[in-house]
Amino acid sequence: MKFLDQAKIYLKSGDGGDGVTAFRREKFIQLGGPDGGDGGRGGDVVFEAVENLNTLIDFRYSQHFRAKKGGNGSGADRTGAGAPTLRIKVPIGTQIFDDDKETLLADMDTPGKTITLLRGGDGGFGNARFKTSTNRAPRRADKGWPGEERWVWLRLKLIADVGLVGQPNAGKSTFLSVVSGAHPKIADYPFTTLHPQLGVVRLSMSEEFVIADIPGLIEGAHEGTGLGTRFLGHVERCAVLVHLIDGAAGNCVDAWRTVRHELAEYGGGLIDKPEIIVLNKADAMTPREISSRRAALAKASGATVMVASGVSGQGIPEVLRALQNIITESRKK
């Protein structure tokens, strides 16, 4: 299934049904009076967050959603049928923005969450509503009220506990495949990962978390270089970031600073999230290189630097345990 995390769609709630002009006509009953019924209410447009979706691909092929019109009233004081609610199912983590792409209308961040975005129009009054002591035979009946309509943007931000960030070929996809059951594409060229990947890490029967891998960041990504920074929206909800650095490349401090700069330029509070720095690909470095590069990273970042290898598994359990401890504290809050 192709991954799509942004879509623009048109919405319209149903118009209200029309009221009618009618008079009671029965044998042996003279001057029965007005008995035109009201129109039915138009259908609402409701969004619902469901668990079995993880992409907005359905909205590429279906972009216009219209609720049905309410039924018209009829004689014998019969009210028109109300139109059914139009329910639009979206993945958990979907945000709904106005046409300006800035005004947030709803955040579907929990399973089963629903929101009525557009309300259907009310039905018009039939002529029975206008009968008075001085107007015994009104011939007025109102049209139904029109429904609401608008264009909205849907933007999916994946629900994950941990976000993997780093430059291309830092070993993020390998790390994800080792610690979870995910099977991302792994190759020895830049930008192997073209869209976010999710994996579930289980440390024990009661300890598990979701980890998200996003495309690599390079210098100038916030200006559109490479794949840009739009994918960083998928780690905005994470409790902690794992910053993987390719230790075998040799320019560890520059790589760390480049990614941190791109996080700061993107915003969204990413620069302030807890960060675990991991010097990756320990299997491709000598002990002396590991020691010197780890010390340089620790001095530049002012944080503890962990060492790991997705290929050999070195240091992986320690990294996962550190992540679980941070996530546990975050969930308590």
**Ligand-binding site membership of 124 (annotated):** no
As a whole number of angstroms, the distance between CA 205 and CA 278 comes to 26
**Ligand-binding site membership of 282 (annotated):** yes
Strands of the sheet containing 114-118, edge to edge, are: 86-91, 45-50, 114-118
**Ligand-binding site membership of 94 (annotated):** no
**Ligand-binding site membership of 222 (annotated):** no
**Ligand-binding site membership of 23 (annotated):** no
**Ligand-binding site membership of 195 (annotated):** yes
**Ligand-binding site membership of 128 (annotated):** no
**Ligand-binding site membership of 178 (annotated):** no
CA angle 113, 117, 122 (to 5 degrees): 125
**Ligand-binding site membership of 184 (annotated):** no
**Ligand-binding site membership of 214 (annotated):** yes
As a whole number of angstroms, the distance between CA 105 and CA 127 comes to 38
**Ligand-binding site membership of 328 (annotated):** no
**Ligand-binding site membership of 332 (annotated):** no
**Ligand-binding site membership of 227 (annotated):** no
Annotated binding site for Mg(2+): 173, 193
Annotated binding site for GTP: 191-195, 213-216, 280-283, 309-311
Annotated binding site: 173, 191-195, 213-216, 280-283, 309-311
